Amino acid sequence: MSVYSTILRQIINGLQSGSIYALVALGYSMVYGIITLLNFAHGDIIMVGAYIAWLSMARFATNPVFAIIAAILGCTLLGVFIEKAAYKPLRGAPRISILITAIGVSFLLENAAQMVFGASAQVIPSFFNISTIALGSIDISGTAVVTLIVTAVSMILLTLLVQKSKMGKAMRAVSEDMDAAQLMGINLNSTITFTFAIGSALAGIGSVLYCSAYPQATPTMGAMLGLKAFVAAVLGGIGSIPGAMIGGFAIGLAEALVSAAGLSVWKDGVVFAILIVVLLVKPTGFLGRPMQEKV
């Protein structure tokens, strides 16, 4: 196999994992944009989605389509529930208290999953059998193609939603200035809930795509995935939707290229090194709004 095709194959792998990171990063970024909360529980929502998919297919032997819908719906409902139960009572509390609550929720989800499903990995049956596609000299796995298409479609829909719909307008207004938005008659609570719902639904889609690439569910699978997606969100500029997409793909590609160079054990280190360099050169990420300091 030539060097050229190895690199091309790794780029496709990178785009595949990058799209999953991007979908998860969008959830981080949207929530941060609206209530400036680093939602550490977001990664664990993916884990719950994976377990729902596993439950419905391996245990109840349902149709894969139903499993996918159940996973996405389950994630959405869980995201909304977490917001209502844990974050809503803390509106107006110091930001660090909300952060610690988010960490608490993350612990809770991981440990609950460990108690219910056990610590060992559960193998998720494949959703669909998609044949590989030959492109010149290299074969592209069908899952990669599906992942890229699904991600592209979700992002287009999300952009339309945020830019064109009334709810999207409300979301943008709240992230611009929460108090002023409220004075303009925007229902703060429903807007925030809606943001959590959208973010969690994207995490659900990410979860399904992740499971089709790496068909395993473990209680801690969300931790590292969430952390990387979070890095992606920061890299692109937290609070910015196109930024999250760019950050996700950048992280995915960087990881794939490091692996291609035979240094896969340094993958995580490289991701964080890129983060540090970007933050030092451009502290708000690629597309973030500049921070303003008020006296």
Partner 1 sequence: MNQQTKKLSMPLRYVINTALFAMLLLAGTALVNSGAVSGYYTKVLMLIGINIILTVSLNISTGYLGQLPLGHAGFMAVGAYASAIFMTRVGLDANIAFPIGLLLGGVTAGIFGILIGIPALRLKGDYLAIITLGFGEIIRVVLLNIDSVLGFKLTYGAAGLKSIPKTTTFFNTFLCVGIVCFLIHTMMKSRHGRAILSIRENEIAADACGIHVTYYKVLGFAASAFFAGVAGSLYAGYLGILNPSSFGFMKSIEILVMVVLGGMGSMVGSVLSAVVLTAIPELLRAFSGYRMIVYSLLLIIVMIFKPSGLMGMYDFSMSHMIEKIINHKPGQKKRNAKAGEENG
Contacting positions for partner 1 (CB under 8 A): 32, 36, 38, 86, 89-90, 93-94, 96-101, 103-105, 107-108, 111-112, 114-115, 223, 227, 230-231, 234, 238, 265-266, 268-269, 272-273, 275-276, 279-280, 283-284, 291, 293, 295
Torsions phi, psi for 139 (to 5 deg): -100, 135
> Which residue, 66 or 266, has its beta carbon nearer to partner 1?
266
Q: How far is the CB of 230 from partner 1 (least distance, A)?
A: 8
> Which residue, 117 or 167, has its beta carbon nearer to partner 1?
117
> Which residue, 30 or 205, has its beta carbon nearer to partner 1?
30
Report the run of H or E that residue 180 belongs to, with start and end: helix 178-183
> Which residue, 69 or 90, has its beta carbon nearer to partner 1?
90
> Which residue, 15 or 229, has its beta carbon nearer to partner 1?
229
> Which residue, 40 or 127, has its beta carbon nearer to partner 1?
40
Q: How far is the CB of 294 from partner 1 (least distance, A)?
A: 9
Q: How far is the CB of 176 from partner 1 (least distance, A)?
A: 18
> Which residue, 1 or 280, has its beta carbon nearer to partner 1?
280
Long-range Cβ contact pairs of 278-287 (< 8 A, separation 24 or more) = 278/235, 279/234, 284/237, 284/238, 285/234, 285/235, 285/236, 285/237, 285/238, 285/240, 285/243, 285/247, 286/235, 286/236, 286/237, 286/243, 286/246, 286/247, 287/236, 287/237, 287/240, 287/242, 287/243, 287/246
Q: How far is the CB of 284 from partner 1 (least distance, A)?
A: 8
CA 283 from chain centre, in angstroms, equals: 22
In angstroms, the CA 282 to CA 285 distance is: 6
In angstroms, the CA 256 to CA 17 distance is: 9
User: 262 in the Ramachandran plot: left (φ > 0), alpha (ψ -120 to 50) or beta?
Assistant: left
Largest Cα separation within the chain, whole Å, is 63
Torsions phi, psi for 250 (to 5 deg): -60, -45
Q: How far is the CB of 283 from partner 1 (least distance, A)?
A: 5
Compute the residue count for the chain.
Answer: 295
